[in-house]
């Protein structure tokens, strides 16, 4: 996956078991953290969506694990957004420790009206911003 956005995550002690290995569920938190930071680059990010009465619900989440992450590891989580269609969009992720692949995954989302929870189109300003960011090389 070629990504133009990444963030670093340091594995916290609370995210690990007695052997210092990160629990599988922590990976989903890292994906969410990366996704929110990705969106923060555009206008008001997720906060602005919420202020405009739009929520971005997670429909699906998947992670494939290649190697364990350990307490105090510094991981790089890369994200790429795409498949923007109507109210739906997708993020693809890679998690590495240095050059070593640790995991990969994806999440799919739908934008909905925060009061009715009915699907609503992704705002044009956000679609345009994401398409521009992903097209840049």
Residue 98 tokens read as: 């240095």
Contact 129, 136 (CB under 8 A): no
The Cα 77–Cα 17 span in angstroms is 21
The torsion defined by the Cα of 36, 125, 107 and 117, in degrees rounded to 10, comes to 100
The Cα 5–Cα 48 span in angstroms is 20
The Cα 78–Cα 52 span in angstroms is 27
Catalytic residues: 17
Contact 99, 76 (CB under 8 A): no
């Amino acid at each position: 996956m070629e990504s133009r956005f990444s963030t670093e995550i340091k594995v916290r002690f609370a995210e690990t078991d007695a052997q210092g290995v990160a629990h599988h569920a922590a990976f989903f938190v890292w994906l969410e953290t990366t996704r929110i930071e990705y969106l923060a680059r555009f206008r008001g990010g997720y906060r602005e969506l919420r202020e405009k009465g739009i929520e971005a619900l997670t429909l699906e989440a998947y992670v494939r694990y290649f190697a364990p992450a350990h307490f105090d590891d510094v991981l790089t989580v890369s994200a790429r957004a795409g498949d923007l269609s109507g109210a739906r969009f997708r993020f693809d992720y890679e998690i590495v420790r240095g050059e070593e692949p640790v995991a990969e995954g994806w999440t799919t989302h739908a934008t909905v009206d925060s009061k009715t929870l009915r699907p609503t189109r992704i705002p044009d300003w956000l679609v345009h911003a994401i398409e521009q960011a992903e097209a840049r090389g």
